[in-house]
Amino acid sequence: MEKIRASVIGASGYGGAEAVRLLATHPQIDIVHVTADSQKGREMSNLYPNLRRYVDQTMIEADAEAIGRDSDVTFVSLPSGKAMHMVLPLLEGGSKVIDIAADFRLHDASLYPVWYKFEHVAPTYLGEAVYGLPELHRDEIRDTRLLANPGCYPAASLLAILPLIRSGKTQTSGIVIDAKSGVSGAGRGGGGGFGYAEVNENLSAYSVTAHNHTAEIEQELTAAAGGDGPVRVVFTPHLVPMTRGILATAYVPLAQELPEAEALALYDDMYADEPFVRVLHDALPQTKATLGSNYCDVTVRVNPRTQTAIAIAAIDNLGRGAAGQAVQNMNLMFDLPEATGLAFPGVFP
Ligand SMILES: NC(=O)C1=CN([C@@H]2O[C@H](COP(=O)(O)OP(=O)(O)OC[C@H]3O[C@@H](n4cnc5c(N)ncnc54)[C@H](OP(=O)(O)O)[C@@H]3O)[C@@H](O)[C@H]2O)C=CC1
Ligand SMILES: CC(=O)N[C@@H](CCC(=O)OP(=O)(O)O)C(=O)O
């Protein structure tokens, strides 16, 4: 079988570099172009020394038309608001596109100015883009040429809450998600406030009531609940002094009695055949168990006194929260076995 030609736009960033790392050992992939902005002209393995012997390309400036012509698939890992300008020339050139940014995740264009503070330049493509959570949209993912890869917090939050919300046994408001992320979530270009001196031995909440991932989480939970009204969540992210990892703890008010064993059975049922979700019964998720992998570890407990389900998920923000998920979606889009290039455990301790 001829190899799939893949390019990564934004390869100098953490999300793009993680995609390059996974693609470099993927048996069906030839990496064609890797691009950068301020880092253009630099060897990929000079900026990311873990890639020595695996990647010999120099990062070039992104020319979306040329990359679209040369590639079967292009991963776009740029700051949100920049990616949408690349997508049209890439698609016209004949490349499938996997957007790791947020530019095609929301179906409603009017939500972009509210949550992301930009107007969408390609709103007609929002209807075509498929939200890339395989546990929800596997069949559509197989057929699309424009894939909107989920955000890191939404990937963890949705996988934690979906079995509960789909059961109809929970309320659709009053859901609280308390989530923590490692610093790589802010990207290599994270800038002020993300240096060692300020992050080390520190813990802080941010974007309280206003984080843009709220819209994406509500969009997918509302569709999954299948009810008349929208699902609403309170989502509060925190920055913790670790490099990678997200732990999302969701407090979901129950609408009727739900014994813990039945709650766990909902997770077993939904995720029974999922290659990258591990339902824990006798242990609790921890970020380190997913480090460097595409796995999501998830569980649920029930507090009968308050009639609350507590759902907990752990992922690697750059793995299942970004590049790992993107490669899983690529496998589906090219009819490859879904776990190709991703079937390895994380790094522990
Ligand atoms: N980090 C994470 O855990 C996750 C990130 N994402 C999303 O992935 C995308 C990339 O994030 P991440 O890798 O963390 O960010 P980084 O800051 O690490 O990388 C950003 C990339 O975009 C390039 N870039 C920055 N500004 C411009 C510009 N004006 N024009 C063209 N290229 C530009 C950078 O090039 P250069 O370095 O050469 O200047 C770099 O390649 C974002 O949309 C982010 O929201 C999604 C899920 C998880
Ligand atoms: C720690 C940290 O700063 N995390 C980032 C995650 C952003 C991200 O990954 O953005 P998308 O998933 O929407 O592309 C943040 O909260 O903005």
348 within a domain of the structure (yes/no): no
CA 103 to ligand 1: nearest atom: 43
Q: Which two tokens stand for residue 106?
A: 């929301």
Q: How many domains, the chain?
A: 2
Mean pLDDT, rounded, for 2-12: 98
Q: How far is CA 333 from CA 94, 132, 149, 314, in A?
A: 14, 10, 13, 26
344 within a domain of the structure (yes/no): no
pLDDT of residue 258: 97
Same domain, 28 and 89: yes
DSSP E strand boundaries for 164-307 = 175-181, 204-205, 233-239, 246-253, 277-279, 296-303
Same domain, 296 and 264: yes
Confidence of residue 192 (pLDDT cuts 50, 70, 90): confident
The CA distance from 305 to 309, in Å, is: 11
Same domain, 201 and 237: yes
Confidence of residue 83 (pLDDT cuts 50, 70, 90): very high
CATH code for the domain of 110: 3.40.50.720
Calculate the CA 277 to chain-centre distance: 14
Instruction: Give residue 298's domain range.
Output: 153-317
The CA distance from 29 to 9, in Å, is: 16
Confidence of residue 228 (pLDDT cuts 50, 70, 90): confident
Mean pLDDT, rounded, for 178-198: 93
pLDDT of residue 243: 97
Pocket of ligand 1 contains residue 89 by CB under 6 Å: no
349 within a domain of the structure (yes/no): no
Residue nearest to atom 17 of ligand 2 (CA): 186
Same domain, 228 and 161: yes
Mean pLDDT, rounded, for 100-112: 98
The CA distance from 315 to 277, in Å, is: 10
**Residue 267: pLDDT over 90:** yes
Confidence of residue 229 (pLDDT cuts 50, 70, 90): confident
pLDDT of residue 158: 99
Q: Residue 56 gets which letter from DSSP?
A: -
Annotation marks residue 152 as catalytic: yes
Gap from CA of 267 to ligand 1 centroid (Å): 33
**Residue 1: pLDDT over 80:** no
pLDDT of residue 103: 98
Closest CA to 246 of 310, 150, 329, 320: 320
Which residue among the candidates 51, 152, 239, 311 is catalytic per the annotation? 152
Q: Which two tokens stand for residue 156?
A: 């963890």
Give one DSSP letter per residue of 73-123, joined into a string. EEEE---TTTHHHHHHHHHHHT-EEEE-SSTTT-S-TTHHHHHTSS--S-G
Confidence of residue 84 (pLDDT cuts 50, 70, 90): very high
Which residue matches tokens 């993912």?
Answer: 141
CA 188 to ligand 1: nearest atom: 18
93 or 228, higher pLDDT: 93
Mean pLDDT, rounded, for 320-337: 98
Mean pLDDT of the chain: 97
Residue nearest to atom 37 of ligand 1 (CA): 12
